[in-house]
Amino acid sequence: MAKCDEGYFCEVCGKDVENITQSDLYLRYVIGELDPELLHIKAERHITCNPILAQFIVDDAFDPVATDDDFDKRTLDAEYVREREDLVTRGWRRLREVWTEDKSILDYPLAEVIDRLKGE
């Protein structure tokens, strides 16, 4: 059976990643941390199964995630945390937008990521 027929299962918890708004893979793509050429070969995870990334989403529609390791945002530089929260939150909101729109996958990333990709 083709992968698309099977669904996409989280490499951490093993459960189905039901849609793009839950996808760590697509969030990393949208914010420019994953090369588009790698989307089809990288493993999928729920955003919440990657707490190091998920902790930076600050939105009333997203349940806060915390991590108690060396990468806990409460222990990191405040300016870095603000920048990271801005980027990752905007990326997650972008996922929610593309989930409801009929867009090419090439149009999913944030505008600054698309600009950077065009320049490469």
Q: What are 50-75's pLDDT values in tens digits?
A: 999 999 999 999 999 999 899 999 99
Tell me if 66 sits within 8 A of 48, measured CB to CB: no
Tell me the pTM: 0.90
Q: How far is CA 4 from CA 9, 19, 21, 59, in A?
A: 11, 12, 17, 30
Interval 81-119: pLDDT, tens? 999 999 999 999 999 999 998 888 999 999 999 998 888
Extents of the domains making up the chain: 3-107
Structure tokens at 4: 């698309």
**For position 2, what pLDDT does the model report?**
36
- Residue 3 pLDDT class (50, 70, 90 cuts): very low
